[in-house]
Structure 1
Amino acid sequence: MKHIVKLLILLVAVSAFWIVLLETVVPCSYAWLLPVYFIVSLGCYGLLMVGVGLMQFPTCPQEAVLLQKDIVEAKEFLKQRGIDVDYD
């Protein structure tokens, strides 16, 4: 229930801001372009965040060791079942 209230408050605040912009700050000829600019800006921000996340992608040596152990365990399990998985 709290999330719905937060979303409604946000929607009302954005709507009020939009009405104020339309009536006072932005000329009427440009007002219809504001949602397009907002969506493009949001997309650019999302791409920027993805890029920053990829640049700061952490290496996890402990997880790599655990993954290699899991692979060896899976190969042994499949060998016991008669499935050949060695490609060497």
Structure 2
Amino acid sequence: MRVLNGRRHFEFSLADGTKEEYPVGEAFFELGDKRATSKVFFAPPSVTPLLGAFTLESLGLMVNPVTRELTPMRLILAAGVGGRRSR
């Protein structure tokens, strides 16, 4: 992971109801032959790292709920988007 731009700060609500402010930025991810950028927040080392849905989707991946493995996403476009007809 490589941070690409400056950090802004956002307030997050934690599970116990408290609020914390963390810096947020954009990072570059590589997983095998897949590369993408995604928004990330920078928490202290005591916070468990989490790879979220936005990052997985930007890499074209999803979690199979049965096997709990990463699998390629099936990308779907709505018919007629941008004036094109479906094939």
TM-score by length of 1: 0.22
Structure whose CA Rg is larger: 1
- Higher relative CO (Cα under 8 Å, sequence separation at least 6) belongs to 2
TM-score by length of 2: 0.23
